[in-house]
Chains A and B, each alone.
Chain A
Amino acid sequence: MKRPSLGSILLGLIPFAAICFPVALWDRVYPMILGLPFNFFWLVSWLVLTPLCMWGAYRLEVPRSPDPRGDGKGGTL
């Protein structure tokens, strides 16, 4: 059981950092973006950005882990 690589862990920390640490900065109503209060917009955008980060982590992780189907590629979604 291999540990995840440092690179993939750092990619996974990005959404955590973006959502948790600057909360005092993004928890505000204005400016409204796309009709959403700023705090709402910030969190909705991380619903979309998190899969991007994790896709990167997946690309880093998968070549390292054994692929039972043995096609050895595994890098595609």
Chain B
Amino acid sequence: MSASFVALTVICAIIGAGSFIGFYAGRRYKMDLEQWTVGNRGFGMLLVWLLMAGETYTTFTFLGASGRAYSWGGPVLYILAYQPLIFVVSFYVMPQMWEAGKRYRLQTQADFFRMRYGSKHLEAFVALVGIVFLIPYIQLQLTGLGLIVEVASFGAIHRTPAMMISFSIVAGFVLTSGLRGAAWVSVLKDFLLLFAAVCIGIVVPYHYFGGTGAMFSALAHAKPEHLVMPGATKNFGHLWFVSTVLMTSLAFFMWPQYIGACYSAKDGNTLRRNAVIMPLYSITMPLVLIVGFTALLVLPNLPDGDLALLSIVRKTFPAWFLGIVGGAGALTAMVPASVQILTAATLFIKNFCRPILAPSMTDAQVARMAKATVLGLTAVAMSFAILSSASLVALLIIGYTGVAQFFPGVVLGLYSRRVTTAGVFAGLATGVGIVAFLGLTRNDPLMGFNAGFIGLCFNFAVTTTVSLLRPVELQSLDGHLPQGIRE
């Protein structure tokens, strides 16, 4: 039996098991809009934890983190730094979001903006910004998946058919099982990824250097500059590190798909407990980074840093283990992508088309249309992934800096009575404009600062200034305020 056949069989078995779980999970439930988008708000602690771990550890964390350890060096530590901090921020924001969601039956992030600010134009704008930044993220999962299957099958399967087959499966279980399907596939994915990361992170440095300490000593001796900032990069110094870590930890839970995960919890304390223990799953991250650093010493001339993890695994381990890593990697693309597709489709129909084009649409019609949109979106992301992959990382970085701009609208919306619709609209437009300009003109970082951080500062300033200059009488706004804010 050839190595590629063994690896391929294991990958197919894992993808098959994952899809079976995904289809089976939704079998007993009637998939109305509420069940489809937020699992009827019935997920307990364990399922929310698994779903969040499943959604937040994407192919970007898996391949991208080790790839940046390989090609950037020191600045990659920002990934390690923001992991615990995103959950600190979520502790103070998500339970309140959940409460508002429960009370007003909200299903998406744009729903929250409509409820809080009472403007369908703001709702549609928020939905549109969310979709625009989600599509490159879906595309990235596709490309990552194609890369994983191609390398793990020793080139036996080309990336295009791999992407097509697995994303047909993804679209399939999104349609039949919604968020519940993604949550249950996460169970398999989280354990496989943990298993794979622990094995690789311990065995790889041991195999080549006799241990992690020896590997780091060798690296510190060979390239003393690589392990501290700015490492192999030109301008990713300490200022960049602090502004990026702050921006990312505020931005993270502003990704529209995580709001759905938040609403799926059965109560607010589930989210608080989740925020307390979630950083412990991040223990996989240092292991993945160690693999990237080891790869730099063992395979110094790779054309692409993103190949570092897979290449060294292929060089070190037997074929069946490569299959497990490949399968875990494939699920690592499929789970986040399924939720991202579901979220983008719901945002498009429920929060963009309905308020602007067809206000009379019922929830049942929204659910039907959104499911049809799933197929369209998958096709769009697929064609992007097949036709181009050049500026993928750049697009994702713009995405992060972009969703960060939701933060003032969400947090001030939850905690302040004074913030107004006009203020949030102006702030969001300013912030998104700044990050799009800086990103597209390749001015990120600007004077050492992360572009998203700059956008966020202006966003906050504009939001508060406009809100204070043109205060709206609280009475007229009262109807849109969650009860608790009025207290």
Cβ of B77 within 8 Å of any chain A Cβ, yes or no, is: yes
- Contact pattern, A 1-13, Cβ under 8 Å of B = 1, otherwise 0: 1111000110010
Query: Roughly how many angstroms separate A61 CA and B268 CA in the complex, as a whole number?
Result: 11
| A68 & B77 in contact (Cβ 8 Å cutoff) | no
Contact of B216 among A36, A44, A77 (CB under 8 A): A36
Partner of A57, one of B74, B91, B229, B283: B91
With a CB–CB cut-off of 8 A, which chain B residues contact A32?
A: 213, 216-217, 220
Interface residues of B in 389-423 (CB under 8 A from A): 414-415
Q: Are B77 and A48 in contact (CB under 8 A)?
A: no
Contact with A along B90-102 (1 / 0, CB 8 A): 0110011001100
Which residue in A36, A54, A68 is a CB contact (below 8 Å) of B88? Answer: A54
Known contacts A19-B245, A65-B268; A27/B280 CB under 8 A: no
Number of interface residues of B (CB under 8 A): 54
Which residues does chain A contribute within 8 Å of B277, judged by CB atoms? 51, 77
Is B141 engaged at the interface, CB distance under 8 Å to the other chain? no
Assess whether B241 is interfacial by the CB under 8 Å rule.
yes
Nearest CB of A to B203, in Å? 15
Residue B379 CB within 8 A of the other chain: no
Residue B429 interfacial (CB < 8 Å): no
Q: In the assembled complex, how far is the CB of residue B70 from the closest CB belonging to chain A, in whole angstroms? A: 15
* A44-B80 in contact given A35-B213, A58-B273 (Cβ < 8 Å): yes
Q: How far is the CB of A76 from chain B (nearest CB, A)?
A: 9
Kindly provide the distance from the CB of B404 to the nearest chain A CB, expressed in whole angstroms: 16
B186 in the interface (beta carbon within 8 A): no
Are A35 and B92 interface neighbours, CB within 8 A? Answer: no
Please tell me if B383 contacts chain A, counting CB pairs below 8 Å. no
Whose C-beta in chain B lies nearest to the C-beta of A52?
Answer: B276
Cα A68 to Cα B99 with chains together (Å): 11
Which of B85, B99, B229, B483 counts the most chain A CB atoms within 10 A? B85
Closest to A24 in B: B238
Question: Which one of B83, B92, B229 contacts A47 once the chains associate, using CB atoms below 8 Å?
Answer: B83
Q: Does B272 contact A (CB under 8 A)?
A: yes
Minimal Cβ-Cβ distance residue in B for A33: B213
Most buried by A among B92, B241, B276: B276
Q: Which of B213, B224, B246, B276 contacts A54 (CB 8 A)?
A: B276
Assess whether A37 is in contact with B88, with CB atoms less than 8 Å apart. Answer: no
Determine if A65 and B95 form an interchain contact, defined as CB atoms under 8 angstroms apart.
yes
Q: How far does the alpha carbon of A8 sit from the alpha carbon of B268 in the complex, in Å?
A: 16
Q: What CA separation (Å) do A50 and B280 show in the bound complex?
A: 9
The 3 closest A-B pairs by CB, nearest first: A35-B213, A1-B484, A50-B84
**Could you list 10 further interchain pairs (A-B, Cβ under 8 angstroms) beyond the known A12-B91, A23-B241, A37-B228?**
A8-B92, A24-B238, A27-B74, A29-B228, A35-B213, A44-B80, A47-B280, A48-B279, A57-B276, A77-B277
